[in-house]
Structure formats: structure tokens, C-alpha cells
A and B are shown apart, each in its own frame.
Chain A
Amino acid sequence: MAEGVKPRVKVPKSASAGEAVTIKTLISHQMESGQRKDSDGNVIPRSIINRFTCDFNGQNVIDVVLAPAISTNPYFEFDATVPESGEFTFTWYDDDGSTYTDTQSIEVS
């Protein structure tokens, strides 16, 4: 498991039904591309987050497949429709098999 991985997500606290809300996500991660070499000339093995998904109450919002060309601390911004109050679930999948999740609830009036 990569060290110091910390997801951060920004979701509005409330919205009206059917409104499009903007979601910003950031996760601190090295995103080692597998192209770099250390001081002895050995290739540093690839270690990235290869997939990110966002769901709202079990329904998918966005599913992103990441390649090594995504910058360190992968950042995503996108819009979601919120039909009712509920919870967003964010999941990041690491190359080493671990997953990181974060949840944020939103109040729909």
C-alpha cells in the first residue's frame, strides 16, 4: 500500500432535487509512472491509481480509467445530478490492489 494516501472530496451540503452539482476530488498519491529511474539507473516500478469511480445511492456517476500520464495527486472535477437526498461514494483503486473510499452525504430539499 502506498503511503500517505488521503482522499479529499468537495460536495455541496445541500441542493434542490434534480440539480446538477459540481464535485471536486483530490487524492494524495505518488502516481509513480514506471518511466523514471533512481540514482542507480534502475527503473522505479509503476505504482499508480488505475481507476476511480463515483456513485450516488448505488447509481454510477462517473468511472475513470487512469494511466500513468495522470499527474501526482489525481484531481477530478465533474457534475452529478442529485434526484434525492443520499450519499456519494468515491472509490479509488490502487495498482497494488488496495482501494480507498470516501463518502459524502447531500441534503436535497
Chain B
Amino acid sequence: MELTRRQTLIAGIGAAAAMVLPIRAFAQDAPMVGELAEFTGGAEPGTGDITLTAPEIAENGNTVPIEVSAPGAAEIRVYALGNPVPGVAAFTFGPLAASQAASTRIRLATTQEVLAVAKLQDGSFIADRKEVKVTIGGCGG
């Protein structure tokens, strides 16, 4: 059977789509699941008294101001789900911390969801997430 130009093109596009789609989905989710599971021990974080403050639209992905606050938390971790390395920061609060809150500036590669997970004193986990639209990515691309 001889391939026409049209058939070749369609096959090519199909193959390219098949390659790209699962890899993208995989890259977004797989490392995330691993890192989060490592922190929570596989437990699914619930909702609770945790607040993640982040801008809805960040013009520059290189410095996006965020603030996390979770009264009573022992540790708060922040993940950027669409970054090449999803882990962003882990805050551990000592006996002299006046509030379980901190602000910092982070890098975001693309428009994505930012996730904050807090480990409470009793060992349970709560989470909050925010979608941030990024105009210019912050990974040197």
C-alpha cells in the first residue's frame, strides 16, 4: 500500500499528539504525587484552617509573592504543581514562632496551581490551593 501525502500527515500528527499528551500529564502529576506522599505518608490532606495567599495574575513568574498561614501547624510545605521541580519550600515553626505564618517570593514556570499543605500538631494534614496565572514564566525559558 502506498501512503498518500494526506495519510502521512495525519499519521504524523496523530503520533505527535500521542507522544506529547501523556508525557505532559505525567510530568504534571507523577513527581507531585511522590513528593506529597512522602510528606503526608500517603494520607489525603483535608480542608481546614489554612490560608494560601497568592496573586490571581502574576506578570512576572520570577518573583511571585505568596503567604501561607495555618494556626497550629507544625510544618507547612508549598508546592508549585506546574514547575519542573514541584517542591518550593518547607517551613518548620519553632517554639518562639508567634504565628504559624510566613511570606516569601517564589518562581512559577507557567500558569498553574500552587498548593500549601500543613501538618498539624496532631499529625493530620490540611491543604489549600490557588490558581496563579503567569504572563512571563520564571524558569529562564
Q: Check A67/B63 contact, CB under 8 A, given A62-B102, A79-B99, A80-B97.
A: no
Interchain CB contact under 8 A, A61 and B97: yes
Within the complex, what minimum Cβ distance (angstroms) separates A53 from chain B? 9
List chain B residues, Cβ under 8 A from A59: 94-96
Within the complex, what minimum Cβ distance (angstroms) separates A89 from chain B? 12
Count of A-B residue pairs with CB < 8 Å = 104
Interchain CB contact under 8 A, A62 and B104: no
List chain A residues, Cβ under 8 A from B98: 20-21, 79-81
Q: Which of A36, A56, A64 contacts B102 (CB 8 A)?
A: A64
Check: B41 CB closer than 8 A to any chain A CB: no
Docked Cα-Cα span, A79 to B99, in Å, equals: 6
> Residues 1-44 of chain A: 1 if any B CB is under 8 Å from the residue's CB, otherwise 0?
00000000000000000001100000000000101110000000
Within the complex, what minimum Cβ distance (angstroms) separates A54 from chain B? 8
Interface of A, helix, strand, loop or mixed by DSSP: strand
Within the complex, what minimum Cβ distance (angstroms) separates B83 from chain A? 5
Interface size on A, residues (CB 8 A): 32
List chain B residues, Cβ under 8 A from A56: 96
Check: A103 CB closer than 8 A to any chain B CB: no
Interchain CB contact under 8 A, A33 and B97: no
Interchain CB contact under 8 A, A62 and B93: yes
Q: Which of B101, B104, B139 contacts A74 (CB 8 A)?
A: B104
